[in-house]
Amino acid sequence: MPLLEVDNIIFGTGPDGKTPILEGLSLFIEPGEVHALLGTNGTGKSTLAYLLMGCVGYRPAQGEIRFDGANINTLAIHERARLGITMAWQEPVRFEGITVRDYLSIRQNGVDPAACLDMVGLAPALYLTRMVDKCLSGGERKRIELASILALRPRLAILDEPDSGIDMLSIQDVINVITAFRKKGTAVLLITHREEIATIADRASQLCYGKIICSGSPGNVAEHYKSRHCLTCNGVECHYV
């Protein structure tokens, strides 16, 4: 049985919720699978992430999100988190007065915060006592967010563009984190624009204006993505071609 099943969900925004974002999207992720999600800007990747996490204002108008076979459509964020779903945000927020050590210790299960920092390429001696505030650079904050997700040992980690804002020399650290998730049996939904990140996934899907238009091996999906050819509607509806 898949760990996560997204079954034909419809979601829109605007005052009446009728500006379509996701239009009958279906997707599944097996336990321990790293699943890359590709798509151009504005196709609904982050919206899908918010729906899966249960953010306020993000409930499907139709369709089901199932985790371990149970419908989680109505669960709040923390209830989903306690089932083992968590998320690293594309632009993580800052917190005044909270040290990196404290942040990495929130509800974690005996995991060493220093080891998690090491995993994302940050020296524990330099970072554990720093605040998770605006003194951190964007790249540092993103790495700390990844370290915090590692510390939680989730069953499903949603990583929304974990590589954006990370310098070229440190991309390997992001790959190491994803590899670490895989070793621990954590399933990953990996939203990315980089082919070298996507290709470490077990499977990949391409999202195009609210629908999954292609799924399969990461290499094939990446090739399809780059070919700018939409097999579903030939570009008529999604304007992808």
Nearer to other proteins (CB atom), residue 80 or residue 211? 80
Residues 6+ apart with CB under 8 A from 88: 142, 145, 146, 148, 149, 157, 158, 159, 160, 162
Q: Determine whether 183 is exposed, middle or buried from the number of CB atoms within 10 Å of its CB (0-12, 13-18, 19+).
A: exposed
Nearer to other proteins (CB atom), residue 68 or residue 223? 68
Q: How far is the CB of 131 from other proteins (least distance, A)?
A: 9
Q: Answer for the pair 54, 76: CB distance below 8 angstroms, yes or no.
A: yes
Nearer to other proteins (CB atom), residue 136 or residue 208? 136
Q: Determine whether 159 is exposed, middle or buried from the number of CB atoms within 10 Å of its CB (0-12, 13-18, 19+).
A: buried
Q: Put residue 172 in one of left, alpha, beta given phi > 0 → left and psi -120 to 50 → alpha.
A: alpha
Nearer to other proteins (CB atom), residue 39 or residue 92? 92
Q: How far is the CB of 134 from other proteins (least distance, A)?
A: 11
Q: How far is the CB of 96 from other proteins (least distance, A)?
A: 5
Nearer to other proteins (CB atom), residue 85 or residue 114? 85
Site of interaction with other proteins (CB under 8 A): 53, 55-56, 76-78, 81-82, 86-87, 89, 92-93, 95-98, 106-107, 148, 152
Q: How far is the CB of 5 from other proteins (least distance, A)?
A: 20
Tokens of 140: 């540092």
Tokens of 76: 């709040």
Nearer to other proteins (CB atom), residue 133 or residue 196? 133
